[in-house]
């Protein structure tokens, strides 16, 4: 749980442009992972869930910054 709070505090320090770039890269990585999983099963398919939630956290932080501005 402490690692999640540290991640959220790290995300709050990023500006909108950095968040946008990180979202793009995370979504690309997620897409590649899902595609690779459809061809050959992954050793750890739970990594897809972790990546999906990471993208959601980034999008949530970006939306909260847009609301504040």
Residue 40 has pLDDT above 90, yes or no: yes
Range of the domain at 60: 15-68
- What is the spatial distance between Cα 30 and Cα 49, in angstroms, rounded to a whole number? 9
Residue 4 domain-assigned? no
Locate tokens 């050793």: which residue?
A: 43
Predicted pLDDT at 28: 98
Residue 7 domain-assigned? no
Residue 2 domain-assigned? no
Residue 65 has pLDDT above 70, yes or no: yes
User: pTM score, two decimals?
Assistant: 0.84
- Please, what's the largest Cα pairwise distance for the chain? 44
Which residues, including other chains, have CB under 8 Å from residue 20's CB and lie 6 or more apart? Answer: 62
Q: How many domains in the chain?
A: 1
DSSP symbol at 24 = H
């Amino acid at each position: 749980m402490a690692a999640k709070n540290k991640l959220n505090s790290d995300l709050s320090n990023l500006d909108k442009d950095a968040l946008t770039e990180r979202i793009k890269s995370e979504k690309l990585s997620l897409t590649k992972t899902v595609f690779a999983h459809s061809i050959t099963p992954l050793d750890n398919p739970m990594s897809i869930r972790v990546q999906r939630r990471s993208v959601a956290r980034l999008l949530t932080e970006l939306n909260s910054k847009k609301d504040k501005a």
